[in-house]
Amino acid sequence: MKRWIWMGGALGLCLLLGAAPGLAAMHSPYNRYSSDEFRLRLGLFTPDGDSEYWHGAESDFTGDASDLQDVVFGGDWIHQVTPFMALMVSGDFYQGQSDMSYRNFTDTHGHEIVHTTTLEVAPFTAGLVFRLAPEALPVHPYVGVGGGLYWWHLDEEGDFVDFTGRNDIFTDAFHDDGAVFGYYALAGLDIPISSNFSVFGEARWDRAKDDLNGDFATLGKIDVGGSKYMGGVSWHF
């Protein structure tokens, strides 16, 4: 609940920042397609969990990849090439965390054996955005595609069972990180406020998988893609 309140307040602040210049320039012509844009985004990211690592975790532990749903924020620079096509460079950051316990094992007192899984994903991408409506309309739908590098970091910290011995319980921390090429598709609606500002809502679907190494070398691939649902403010210059 606190997460949603914080996100609602932040998005409300974005809307106020966008509306203030619009009140001062409400009679200015909206000439967005001849300008560049800088956008700030905020929303939720839900990991897909479609890989060997996540399937194994779901089999052995309570919960699944969707339990790591958390806040994602990012920014875009957009350069208009034609009235209906633009180049976009984007950067995002997400960190999600969830406690997981063994499904079939407890300690000698019947308590759950729990560890915390943390996933960070920070993509840097480039792509194309296609405008689907004329500039004169009050709402501008758009779609886009792109790709780039997805940096990620995975942690598991807490209590585990040593299945190589007498099923002893031990406390430890396991880590791995990497960078892999991925791609995305997006769809959104942009609503002009003035000649310099607009607000928007957007969905992105990221696809990226990488081989695990280090402490997780035997666990196959990890899926670091997922779904993002975001809103934000855009400055046109």
Q: Render pLDDT for 16-57 as a digit per residue (tens, 0 to 9).
A: 444 444 433 333 334 445 579 999 999 999 999 999 999 999
- Give the pLDDT band of residue 15 (cuts 50, 70, 90): very low
User: How far apart (Å, rounded) are the C-alpha atoms in residues 195 and 74?
Assistant: 23
Range in 3-17, 61-75, 138-152, 168-182 with the lowest mean pLDDT? 3-17
224 DSSP assignment: -
Q: Measured between alpha carbons, how far is residue 236 from residues 42, 67, 201 in Å?
A: 18, 37, 16
Residue spans per domain, the chain: 2-26+33-236
> Quick one: what percent of the chain has pLDDT higher than 90?
77
- Give per-residue burial for 75-96: e unless 16+ CB within 10 Å, then b: ebebebeeeeebebebebebeb
Average of per-residue pLDDT across 203-221: 97
**Model pLDDT, residue 164:** 84
Average pLDDT, the chain: 88
**Model pLDDT, residue 34:** 55
Q: What is the pLDDT of residues 71-91, one digit of tens each?
A: 999 999 999 999 899 999 999
CATH number of 2-26+33-236: 2.40.160.20
**Model pLDDT, residue 7:** 46
Query: Is 70 exceeded by the pLDDT of residue 171?
Result: yes
Kindly report the pTM of this predicted structure. Answer: 0.84
